[in-house]
Structure 1
């Protein structure tokens, strides 16, 4: 990792074998204990990921936010918006961040397992991830 973040100390990057070295399709972060703590799927080169029929990767963030909030409300959860304006759910362990694709923004989901080392999904976002725009 470029910058250590709380209990996170290791990072692994995955991409297609034929992709250039700078491409990061999926980035995972591990805790000091070796446990998986955070998985981030790139909006441009990451795999398609869906939840309950809702595509989470590479979408217009405002459209996904509406659908994500409806999904949460339909299951008795309270929709959240982070201080940065990203849709989030502590119950699901997901924050849907925005990533630039030229003049467009696309959804970049962050999946977090914060049991025992952080209090919210927002607390789990590694410092390296806040620099991705």
Structure 2
């Protein structure tokens, strides 16, 4: 590949590196660039600092090929953002953030798994993440410590970019058994964005966060694959990942730690003792992982789990506030 591609050289490495890899729709590319060049920050008072590579030689390049090319040019421990086919067709606009860390640079498979790999990121999250990387924040910001690719907008709005999984208790600032008023207080809002009917009392909050109640007590928390807070399991980001990769991580974790496994009728996998259920969500043409955190009683119930009566069961795979869930 090196004989036909030239890795971007001579650029300011403080600038976020954006590489266009899809060339089928110029109108869509214009929309992506417009999103990338918007001001950002708590008061939208920061100008974006990006280096955009718009060269058809990069058309169709895969993340693995881009990583190989970066490694050949000693581009380590940075991040490149690929404007790929999903970027041009998805709503909202996301780019594929690619860690330029290779396995050879890591001391263990665990380090590479935690700090390598890819995520999808909204444009304004790129600027927050890149600012932290260039000011000395550790490579760990790629996958979860501090402002990161999926969480820049929430960090700027005062909400956490990364939530902690508390098995059996809840996730982030909210706990199972809370009342609707207690959930709103924990999220530091006066009320939810909306409420939905159906078999559960459902409330929708910012960033695609949905909560469900059983007899007035919190029983389930559902994250959005792209815009929701990030949650980690043994260093692995659960939201916004390739579903097969995320599924395998849960199986490996269960094998190592002896977790109890369960499958729902749609093929989603749960670690029942952790209260974790992994579903998929369609973003444009891409399927991404979406975690739900559920009370153990529901996951161990034949009615709720085995017979497919959990929240979002059979919901259409769409994205946005108008989801018919």
Alpha-carbon contact 1:80-1:89 (below 8 Å) kept: yes
Higher Rg of the two aligned structures: 2
Q: What does the per-residue CA deviation read over 1:22-81, in whole Å, with 9 as the maximum and x for residues that have no partner?
A: xx521001111x211000001121111112211110111000111111111111124443
1:125 to 299, 305, 310: 310
Moved more, 34-43 or 111-120: 111-120
Aligned length: 119
Structure showing greater relative contact order (alpha-carbon pairs closer than 8 Å, 6 or more residues apart):
1
Q: Which has the higher helix share?
A: 2
Question: In structure 2, what is the Cα distance between the partners aligned to 1:102 and 1:113?
Answer: 31
Question: In structure 2, what is the Cα distance between the partners aligned to 1:67 and 1:117?
Answer: 19
Question: In structure 2, what is the Cα distance between the partners aligned to 1:73 and 1:58?
Answer: 23
Matches for 1:1-133 after TM superposition, within 5 Å: 1-4=196-199, 8=200, 10-15=201-206, 24-32=207-215, 34-115=216-297, 119=301, 122=305, 125-126=310-311, 128=312, 130-133=314-317
Match of 2:43 in 1: none
Q: Which has the higher strand share?
A: 1
What TM-score do you get using the length of structure 1 for normalisation? 0.76
Question: In structure 2, what is the Cα distance between the partners aligned to 1:117 and 1:92?
Answer: 10
Q: Name the CA shift for 1:132/1:111 in 2 (closer, same or farther; >3 Å).
A: farther
Alpha-carbon contact 1:25-1:47 (below 8 Å) kept: no
Q: Name the CA shift for 1:11/1:92 in 2 (closer, same or farther; >3 Å).
A: same
**Which consecutive residues of structure 1, in runs of 5 or more, have no partner in the other structure?**
16-23
Q: Name the CA shift for 1:118/1:124 in 2 (closer, same or farther; >3 Å).
A: farther
Question: In structure 2, what is the Cα distance between the partners aligned to 1:78 and 1:14?
Answer: 30
Alpha-carbon contact 2:272-2:296 (below 8 Å) kept: no
What TM-score do you get using the length of structure 2 for normalisation? 0.34
How many angstroms does 1:104 deviate by?
0.8
**Which consecutive residues of structure 2, in runs of 5 or more, have no partner in the other structure?**
1-195, 318-325
